[in-house]
Amino acid sequence: MIHLKGGRALLLKYRKHPIPFVLDTTPSLKKELEPNETALKEPHVVKRLKQERDITVAMEYFKYVTNSKGFRHTYLTYQIMIEKLGEERQIDGIQYLLQQMKLEGISCSEELFINVINSYRRAGAADQALKTFYRMQDFDCKPTVKIYNHLLDALLNESRFQVISPIYNNMKKDGIEPNIFTYNILMKALCKNNRVDGACRLLVEMSKKGCSPDSVSYTTIVSALCRLGRLEEAKELAIQFTPFVPVYNALINGFCRESKIKDAFLLVDEMVNRGIGPNVITYTTIINALCEVGNVELSLVVLAQMLVRGCTPNIHTFTSLIKGFFQKGRVCEAVKVWDWMVGNDCCPNIVAYNTLIHGLCSRGDVNRAISIFFQMEEKRCPPNVKTYTILLNSFAKGGDIEGVAEIWNRMINRGCHPNVVAYTCMVDALCRNSMYNQAQCLIENMDLENCWPNTITFNAFIKGLCRDGRAGWAIYMLDEMEKRGCLPNVTTYNELLDGLCREGNIGEASLLVKKMSEKGIEFNLVTYNTIMRGLSSVGLVAEVLQYLGRMVVKGIKPDLITFNTIIHGYCKEGEVKTAIQLMDRMSSEGCSPDLLTYSFLIYGLCKWFSLEEAMVFLFKMLNEGLSPNAAIWNILVRCFFSKMGPPGSIQLLNTLANG
């Protein structure tokens, strides 16, 4: 329960954990569900299991049938239940059912094992896929090239390169000849492991064995070469064989990724000259690249060319254009493209919806974004965790904690599992509203959801604490963070340093700086500025200059904050002339003095010298187009009354202050 201002309470919901699947339990379904046990036949049970969408109800029914006396599960009913569990990624349940099949003497087909391995692939459980493969012999089921391919693909999905080679060798020992799918998987594995040259050798090997490479083979290698920046090699390889559209698309994508869009256009011309028609992927790749660099006008020209050549834009084309218009701040055009897309019977997918909602939120139109959000469910495109996270972030930045809670609870109620990004948004939202106990509780709850907080999550919490004067608590969270094996980065330490310096705890800040050095954390510009600002605030100008020296030696260029910090330190200590000299040097470093620079100098001149000299800098800033703020006028007026400036000074001040 989260308590809000004014006595209101905010309740955040948490996801319930699934009930484990066990067969040998007392049936929990009432007998009335199946009044005639003896009438249960395989077609009836199969139909009931297939129609049941709720996995929990399907499990209960499966258990009920298991414990009934009128039916004994068959291969087909086990297969359906295993497939349902696979869709829900319930690995333990699958393992349990396989064991039950073995105990009951029900034979398994290779097709069933392929389904199981694919389920493990989707669940990211390659180890279980491997164990299941080796269990096939217990079911008197011999592997073929087909199941080897599915196993290799599952291992590739998790980049288990060290296991793929032994499995392939084992396949050859069993006398199973690899086919085109096997070779393509192996080439993908080599390319994914940046061993493109090995993939090229494999291309030659398969050709010698009479297995002709297809478009997937060539596209895999060309894509890998492009990803590694070896564009010319990729281009040379592409022209050595019969050209395929996917290969050209891979090349065009590679050149676009390197912002070589002119070369991409030349490749399109080359395609046309060779009698290869560019497809929607070709054009969309270029349109997306142009939108990414902000050239949305040229992307419209490409769209026009695409339409003239009879190529119909797809959802990805429209989404790229919508994103491009939003990035340029052209909301009306983005919405028009959306309307055009929908009007042309191009059904929006989750990516398109998220792009539109993100664009509207980023431009402050949250109400319209919420309207689109509600449309998603009506259009049978349920929001995913990214959709919810976009809205959570938008409400958090707007300070609407009730909106944040409503979106969070809706996400949980709809069965959408929050990921680490969603949790981090929630932590940030709670910290923005000074709800630190609730934020810490949320972080602790993540472990129960098998979603572990990362460095960004902790940084959001630590930042909130430090900005609210709770640096001690933030230091405690640093220790907790390290205990959990989550490594703090330079941002973590910068937030802590800022919090400690704000509280004037320079001693603790110095210890933290030492800890950073011991842990090998590289200081960045923010680190140096934070340390120097803290030292300057307590008058340790000499130490400030030492850090400035270290900063320059490291090749880090000072910025406006750096100069203002040092000027402030000099002015506080009465070294105003040195501060003025430093201000004169700022321009050569690419920094122009701002209001803060002049306020520090005017303060120093008023305190240590005279109102007349301060007035010189007042006129100087006016000449540079900077209007004095209330703080500067207060400094000047206080100086006048404390030192009683020359006749006419007060009238001049009044005239200037009144414009």
> In the 3-class helix/strand/coil scheme, how is 106-162 assigned residue by residue?
CCCCHHHHHHHHHHHHHHCCHHHHHHHHHCHHHHCCCCCHHHHHHHHHHHHHCCCHH
pLDDT at 651 exceeding the cut of 80: no
pLDDT at 62 exceeding the cut of 90: no
Phi and psi, residue 222, nearest 5°: -60, -45
Q: What is the pLDDT of residue 91?
A: 80
Phi and psi, residue 9, nearest 5°: -120, 150
CA 445, CA 452: separation in Å to the nearest integer? 9
CA 203, CA 183: separation in Å to the nearest integer? 8
Cβ neighbours of residue 214 closer than 8 Å, sequence gap 6 or more: 180, 184
Residue bearing tokens 């572990």 = 452
In this structure, of 457-461, 484-488, 584-588, the range with the lowest mean pLDDT score is 584-588
pLDDT at 654 exceeding the cut of 70: no
Residue bearing tokens 């399907």 = 58
Q: Which residue has the higher pLDDT, 348 or 658?
A: 348
- Give whole-number Cα distances, 8 to 1, 328, 403, in Å: 10, 40, 14
Q: Which residue has the higher pLDDT, 97 or 645?
A: 97
**What residue type is assigned to position 331 of the chain?**
V
Tell me the mean pLDDT in the region 35-61.
Answer: 77
Confidence of residue 533 (pLDDT cuts 50, 70, 90): very high
Confidence of residue 34 (pLDDT cuts 50, 70, 90): very low
Q: What is the pLDDT of residue 642?
A: 75
CA 273, CA 319: separation in Å to the nearest integer? 29
Listed residue (317, 332, 315, 327) closest to 359, CA to CA: 327
User: Structure pTM?
Assistant: 0.73
Q: What is the pLDDT of residue 460?
A: 96
pLDDT at 2 exceeding the cut of 50: no
Confidence of residue 10 (pLDDT cuts 50, 70, 90): low
Listed residue (243, 242, 250, 244) closest to 225, CA to CA: 250
Listed residue (372, 278, 358) closest to 326, CA to CA: 358
Confidence of residue 26 (pLDDT cuts 50, 70, 90): very low
Mean pLDDT of the chain: 86
pLDDT over 90, % of the chain? 48
pLDDT tens per residue, range 103-161? 888 888 888 888 888 888 888 888 888 888 888 887 888 888 999 999 999 999 988 88
Buried b (16+ CB within 10 A) or exposed e, 22-32: eeeeebeeeee
Q: What is the pLDDT of residue 43?
A: 85
pLDDT tens per residue, range 78-103? 888 888 888 888 888 888 888 888 88
In this structure, of 76-90, 167-181, 393-407, 550-564, the range with the lowest mean pLDDT score is 76-90
Q: What is the pLDDT of residue 653?
A: 53
Question: Is there a contact between 567 and 600 (Cβ–Cβ < 8 Å)?
Answer: yes
Phi and psi, residue 259, nearest 5°: 60, 25
Cβ neighbours of residue 119 closer than 8 Å, sequence gap 6 or more: 82, 83, 85, 86, 87, 89, 91, 94
Q: What is the pLDDT of residue 3?
A: 37
Confidence of residue 13 (pLDDT cuts 50, 70, 90): low
pLDDT tens per residue, range 620-633? 999 989 988 888 88
CA 21, CA 93: separation in Å to the nearest integer? 6
Tell me the mean pLDDT in the region 2-17.
Answer: 49
Domains of the chain: which residue ranges? 593-659
pLDDT over 70, % of the chain? 92
Buried b (16+ CB within 10 A) or exposed e, 255-291: bbbeebbebbeebbebbeeeebebbbbbbbbbbbbbb
- Give whole-number Cα distances, 83 to 133, 150, 204, in Å: 17, 16, 39
Cβ neighbours of residue 531 closer than 8 Å, sequence gap 6 or more: 497, 501, 509, 513, 547
pLDDT at 560 exceeding the cut of 50: yes
Cβ neighbours of residue 1 closer than 8 Å, sequence gap 6 or more: 9, 10, 11
Confidence of residue 531 (pLDDT cuts 50, 70, 90): very high
- Give whole-number Cα distances, 509 to 46, 58, 497, 515, 564, in Å: 68, 59, 6, 10, 21
Sequence-separated contacts (24+) of 262-269 with Cβ below 8 Å = 263/231, 264/289
Q: What is the pLDDT of residue 279?
A: 94
Confidence of residue 35 (pLDDT cuts 50, 70, 90): very low
Q: What is the pLDDT of residue 438?
A: 93
Q: What is the pLDDT of residue 18?
A: 47
pLDDT tens per residue, range 563-614? 999 999 999 889 999 999 999 888 788 889 999 999 999 989 888 888 888 8
Question: Is there a contact between 140 and 124 (Cβ–Cβ < 8 Å)?
Answer: no
Question: Is there a contact between 401 and 10 (Cβ–Cβ < 8 Å)?
Answer: yes
Phi and psi, residue 452, nearest 5°: -90, 135
Confidence of residue 428 (pLDDT cuts 50, 70, 90): very high
Listed residue (548, 547, 537, 622) closest to 582, CA to CA: 548
**Burial level of 175, CB count in 10 A (0-12/13-18/19+)?**
exposed
pLDDT tens per residue, range 192-251? 988 999 988 888 888 888 888 888 888 999 999 999 989 998 888 887 777 789 999 999
Which pair of tokens denotes residue 93? 């349940």
Confidence of residue 649 (pLDDT cuts 50, 70, 90): low
Q: In the beta sheet, which residues pair with residue 9?
A: 3
pLDDT at 655 exceeding the cut of 70: no
Question: Is there a contact between 653 and 619 (Cβ–Cβ < 8 Å)?
Answer: no
Confidence of residue 4 (pLDDT cuts 50, 70, 90): very low
Q: What is the pLDDT of residue 39?
A: 61
Cα 148 from chain centroid (whole Å): 34
Buried b (16+ CB within 10 A) or exposed e, 127-146: ebbbebbebbeebebebeee
**What residue type is assigned to position 222 of the chain?**
V
Cα 585 from chain centroid (whole Å): 41
